[in-house]
Structure 1
Amino acid sequence: MPSGDRRAEGPERGHPSSVDGGPVSLCTVRVPLLEPQVEFRHNSVVKLNPEVGGAVAAAPASTGLASLSEGHTRSAIVQLLLEGPVTAGDIGERLGISAAGVRRHLDALIDAGDAQASAAEAWQHTGRGRPAKRYRITAAGRAKLAHSYDDLAAAAMRQLREIGGDEAVQTFARRRIDGILADVVNAPAAADVAETADRVASALTKAGYRTTTTPVAGPLSGVQICQHHCPVSHVAEEFPELCDAERQAFAEILGTHVQRLATIVNGDCACTTHVPLGPDKPAPVRPAARAESTTTQGVSR
């Protein structure tokens, strides 16, 4: 047989033989669906897996992570709205996102009734152009942040009033705010009122009130204590003694008359207390340790 016919020499190296030692002619069966294929690039239609050789759909971006990020961003915006009227630009700077992205979330909150926009006051306008809108949380939006123990707290207050009367409720309200402000030292002089107001705001913030102070110029110069969130607002709707006790405690600590200008309970965006800084304001005396006074005979009165 001619030497060019390799089958005469036996099976080719690496090829299997038949059982009886005779030569075997191999052929390759090609199955198109199982054969690795070259991927068509940039067609945005099919993605081929080179390891398996099959076609798989192009995986879209994970919508789960995107939704999670959206939720966190919106929650962060709501927390900033709790601090009072704020512009979309201010929110964007604090969160590190674009003003356009902030407005998209704000529009969604407005559509849901959780936020509202208002024109800036004249004194809030700086620079050129149209004043930026200011956004704040609504009563409906604040209600969604209500504590789950509101009903229990209100029920306990009702029982307290039933057992001890109005005086018991007033005593409880006063002791509560006294505990919150326990570390705030009375303003020793009129010059220290503004600094003491800052310390009051800090103590209230630690208790969940998100409080800031704002200087006020003009004939009624002073400082305003603004409680942008109230953790007991739903209970205070039924028991205003909680609000009254706060105002009394502020006046005694600051050593001057204070005036409540707005409250969350009445639908305002914050509980605002004006503290005058003029020297002609009367200074109420804060009871020392609130101890009982006694007569010369030693009988408490």
Structure 2
Amino acid sequence: MLKKVPKPGEKRSRRAIIDHLKQDGPQDAGRLAERLGISAMAVRQHLYDLEAEGLVTHEAEARPPGTARGRPAKLWALTQAADRFFPDGHADLTVGLIDSMKQAFGEKGLEKLLAVRAREQVEAYKARIGKRRSLPAKLRALAAIRSDEGYMAEVEKTTGGYLLIENHCPVCSAAAACTSLCRSELEVFQQSLGGAVTVKRIDHILAGARRCAYLVTPKD
């Protein structure tokens, strides 16, 4: 049996579904339909096609008490196979280079190299953040920088501060091979935003979370 080849419009809709699930996490077909501006029936068909390709999966979510009775809603989420649609930062090459640097320079030598990289990042980030004074403006600029680097970053207001959210990690394989990369990243954010704030990681992809998230709060 010949495999059905999706039309260009169907390809765009399926890619949009993948992007929304990556950006916002598990969702039902109704919410996706609202975001895409197409019917829930069309979204469900796309989801079933993506499920057949191993790109999405779903689980039942019981309806809250007091709402209309019916079947549990299906919450759709991406599988690891969908990672191929997003930048991987040349994972194999990067991991190989990290291993080579460890052998050539040792752990202390690698730490020194990461420190140099972190300083360069801070200088570049501060230059792009520029003279923005308010914390929201600084965070929006930082999120734009990180999105340009493939992290799909966004900013959300939360109680007492803000969340800097990264929905994708293009260097995840490298970070798994060298945990100092993640620690260095946290320090880069802190220095780029200045000493008037505290930056704390509250979600971590390497720890099993869907995303990396940083709580940024003013010290005063």
Which structure has greater strand proportion? Answer: 2
Describe how 1:30-45 pairs up with structure 2 within 5 A: none
1:43-192 equivalences under 5 Å are 64=5, 66-85=6-25, 87=27, 88-110=29-51, 112=54, 114-116=56-58, 135-142=76-83, 145=86, 147=88, 149-164=90-105, 165-171=109-115, 173-175=117-119, 177-178=121-122, 181=125, 182-185=127-130, 188=133, 192=134
Match of 1:55 in 2: none
Contact 1:237 1:265 in 2 (8 A): yes
1:76: Cα distance to partner? 2.1
C-alpha distance in 1, partners of 2:123/2:32? 33
Flag the 1:150–1:180 CA change in 2: closer, same or farther, 3 A.
Answer: farther
More helix by share: 2
Code of the residue aligned with 1:185 in structure 2: it is G
Deviation, structure 1 residue 157: 1.7
1:200 equivalent to 2:150? Answer no
1:129 Cα offset (Å): 6.0
Helix, strand or coil: the match of 1:237?
A: helix
Q: What is the CA distance between 1:144 and its match in structure 2?
A: 6.1
Question: 1:163 is paired with a residue of what secondary structure?
Answer: helix
Question: Per-residue displacement from partner, 1:94-128 (whole Å, max 9, x unpaired)?
Answer: 433212222333344456263445759x9xxxxx7
In 2, Cα distance between the equivalents of 1:105 and 1:77?
8
Tell me how many residue pairs correspond in the alignment. Answer: 204
Kindly indicate whether the alpha-carbon contact (under 8 Å) linking 2:88 and 2:172 is maintained by their aligned counterparts in 1: no
Shift in alpha-carbon separation, 1:100–1:173, aligned structure 2, 3 A:
farther
Q: Corresponding residue for 1:52?
A: none
Measured against aligned partners, the alpha-carbon deviations of 1:61-116 in whole angstroms (never above 9, x if no partner) come to xx65x445433322221122221226434432343321222233334445626344
Deviation at 1:143, TM superposition (A): 5.4
The alignment status of 1:263 with 2:194, answered yes or no, reads no
Percent identity, aligned pairs only, is 26
- What's the counterpart of residue 178 of structure 2? 239
Shift of 1:166: 2.8
8 Å contact 1:257–1:275 — kept in the other structure?
yes
**Correspondence for 1:210:** 152
Kindly indicate whether the alpha-carbon contact (under 8 Å) linking 2:98 and 2:177 is maintained by their aligned counterparts in 1: no
Helix, strand or coil for the counterpart of 1:275?
strand
TM-score (norm 1): 0.57
Go from structure 1 to structure 2 and tell me whether the alpha carbon gap of 1:146 and 1:252 turns closer, same or farther (over 3 Å shift). closer
Does the CA-based 8 Å contact 2:86-2:170 persist in structure 1?
no
Q: Report 1:218-297 matches (<5 A).
A: 221-254=160-193, 255=195, 256-277=197-218, 279=220
Distance 1:216 1:118 in 2: 28
Structure 2: how far apart are the matches of 1:100 and 1:79?
A: 19
Q: Which ranges in structure 2 are unaligned for 5 or more consecutive residues?
A: none
> What is the RMSD of the two structures over their aligned residues, measured on CA atoms?
3.2
Conserved in 2, the CA contact under 8 Å of 1:186 and 1:252?
A: no
Cα distance in 2, alignment partners of residues 180 and 205 from structure 1 = 15
TM-score of the superposed pair, with normalisation by structure 2: 0.75
C-alpha spacing 1:169/1:105, structure 2 compared with 1 (3 Å): farther
Q: SS of 2:24's equivalent?
A: coil
Q: Which runs of 5+ in 1 are unaligned?
A: 1-62, 123-127, 280-301
